[in-house]
Protein backbone atom coordinates (compact mmCIF):
# COMPACT_ATOMS: atom_id res chain seq x y z
CA UNK A 1 0.00 0.00 0.00
CA UNK A 2 2.17 2.80 1.24
CA UNK A 3 5.90 3.21 1.04
CA UNK A 4 7.15 5.34 3.92
CA UNK A 5 8.90 8.43 2.58
CA UNK A 6 11.25 10.69 4.50
CA UNK A 7 8.54 13.19 5.31
CA UNK A 8 6.30 10.46 6.77
CA UNK A 9 9.19 9.00 8.79
CA UNK A 10 9.93 12.46 10.19
CA UNK A 11 6.26 12.94 11.08
CA UNK A 12 5.95 9.52 12.76
CA UNK A 13 9.09 10.13 14.82
CA UNK A 14 7.69 13.46 15.95
CA UNK A 15 4.26 11.97 16.78
CA UNK A 16 6.08 9.31 18.83
CA UNK A 17 8.15 12.06 20.50
CA UNK A 18 11.43 10.38 19.60
CA UNK A 19 14.25 12.57 18.27
CA UNK A 20 15.65 11.00 15.10
CA UNK A 21 18.59 12.82 13.48
CA UNK A 22 18.12 13.73 9.80
CA UNK A 23 20.85 11.36 8.64
CA UNK A 24 19.06 8.40 10.26
CA UNK A 25 15.72 9.08 8.60
CA UNK A 26 16.36 7.17 5.33
CA UNK A 27 17.23 3.96 7.21
CA UNK A 28 14.22 4.40 9.48
CA UNK A 29 11.92 4.96 6.50
CA UNK A 30 13.23 1.78 4.89
CA UNK A 31 12.76 -0.30 8.06
CA UNK A 32 9.24 0.94 8.59
CA UNK A 33 8.42 0.23 4.93
CA UNK A 34 9.71 -3.34 5.22
CA UNK A 35 7.62 -4.02 8.30
CA UNK A 36 4.52 -2.48 6.73
CA UNK A 37 5.04 -4.59 3.62
CA UNK A 38 5.00 -7.67 5.83
CA UNK A 39 1.67 -6.48 7.25
CA UNK A 40 0.19 -6.09 3.77
CA UNK A 41 -0.60 -9.82 3.89
CA UNK A 42 -3.56 -8.89 6.04
CA UNK A 43 -5.22 -7.48 2.93
CA UNK A 44 -5.68 -11.05 1.64
CA UNK A 45 -8.11 -11.86 4.45
CA UNK A 46 -11.83 -11.52 3.88
CA UNK A 47 -12.99 -9.47 6.87
CA UNK A 48 -16.46 -8.73 5.53
CA UNK A 49 -18.88 -8.56 8.46
CA UNK A 50 -16.25 -9.46 11.07
CA UNK A 51 -16.27 -7.46 14.31
CA UNK A 52 -12.90 -6.12 15.49
CA UNK A 53 -11.86 -7.82 18.71
CA UNK A 54 -12.23 -5.61 21.77
CA UNK A 55 -11.80 -8.20 24.50
CA UNK A 56 -10.20 -11.61 24.12
CA UNK A 57 -12.19 -13.14 26.97
CA UNK A 58 -15.93 -12.56 26.92
CA UNK A 59 -16.08 -11.00 30.37
CA UNK A 60 -18.00 -8.05 31.70
CA UNK A 61 -15.63 -5.70 33.43
CA UNK A 62 -16.13 -5.48 37.18
CA UNK A 63 -17.82 -2.41 38.57
CA UNK A 64 -16.91 -0.65 41.78
CA UNK A 65 -18.15 2.48 43.51
CA UNK A 66 -16.56 5.61 42.05
CA UNK A 67 -14.65 6.68 45.13
CA UNK A 68 -11.15 7.53 46.30
CA UNK A 69 -9.34 4.30 47.20
CA UNK A 70 -5.82 5.53 47.75
CA UNK A 71 -3.75 8.68 48.12
CA UNK A 72 -1.85 10.89 50.52
CA UNK A 73 1.61 9.76 49.46
CA UNK A 74 3.04 12.76 47.63
CA UNK A 75 6.58 12.09 48.84
CA UNK A 76 6.55 8.48 47.61
CA UNK A 77 5.18 9.53 44.24
CA UNK A 78 7.85 12.19 43.80
CA UNK A 79 10.66 9.96 45.06
CA UNK A 80 11.50 8.66 41.56
CA UNK A 81 11.20 11.97 39.71
CA UNK A 82 14.30 13.18 37.85
CA UNK A 83 13.48 16.71 39.04
CA UNK A 84 11.03 17.38 41.87
CA UNK A 85 10.80 20.69 43.68
CA UNK A 86 8.55 21.93 46.47
CA UNK A 87 6.19 18.99 46.11
CA UNK A 88 5.86 19.21 42.31
CA UNK A 89 7.31 17.55 39.21
CA UNK A 90 9.57 20.15 37.58
CA UNK A 91 9.77 20.48 33.78
CA UNK A 92 11.13 23.14 31.38
CA UNK A 93 9.01 26.23 31.01
CA UNK A 94 5.83 25.34 29.10
CA UNK A 95 4.04 28.71 28.91
CA UNK A 96 5.83 31.91 27.94
Partner 1 sequence: MSALNTLTIAEARDLLRRGDVTSVALTEACLTAIEGAGRLNAFVHHTPDLALRRAKAADVRLQSGDAPSMCGIPVGIKDLFCTEGVPSQAASRILDGFRPPYESTVSAQLRDTGAVMLGKLNMDEFAMGSSNETSVYGNVINPWKVDARDLTPGGSSGGSAAAVAADLCLAATGTDTGGSIRQPAAFTGTVGIKPTYGRCSRWGIVAFASSLDQAGPMTRTVRDAAIMLQAMCGHDPKDSTSADLPVPDFEALLTGDIRGTKIGIPREYRMEGMPAEIEALWASGAEMLRDAGAEIIDITLPHTKYALPAYYVIAPAEASSNLARYDGVRYGHRARLSAGDGITQMYEKTRAEGFGHEVQRRVMIGTYVLSAGFYDAYYNRARKVRTLIKRDFEEAFAQGIDCILTPATPSAAFGLGEMADADPVQMYLNDVFTVTVNLAGLPGIALPAGLDSQGLPLGLQLIGRPWEEAALLNTAQVLETAAGFVSKPAKWW
Q: Are 32 and 12 in contact (CB under 8 A)?
A: yes
Per CB under 8 A, which of residues 54..73 are in contact with partner 1? Answer: 54-57, 59, 61-62, 64, 73
Which one, 6 or 77, has the nearer CB to partner 1?
77
DSSP-derived 3-state class of residue 17: coil
Fill in the DSSP letter of residue 81: -
Please state, in angstroms and rounded to a whole number, the distance separating the CA atoms of residues 7 and 91. Answer: 29
Out of 22, 23, 51, 66, the residue judged to bind partner 1 by CB under 8 A: 51
Q: Which is nearer to partner 1, 71 or 92 (CB)?
A: 92
Among 17, 67, 68, 72, binds partner 1 (CB under 8 A): 17
Amino acid sequence: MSEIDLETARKVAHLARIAVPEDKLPALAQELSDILNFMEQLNEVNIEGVEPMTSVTPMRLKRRPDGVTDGGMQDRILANAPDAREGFFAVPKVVE
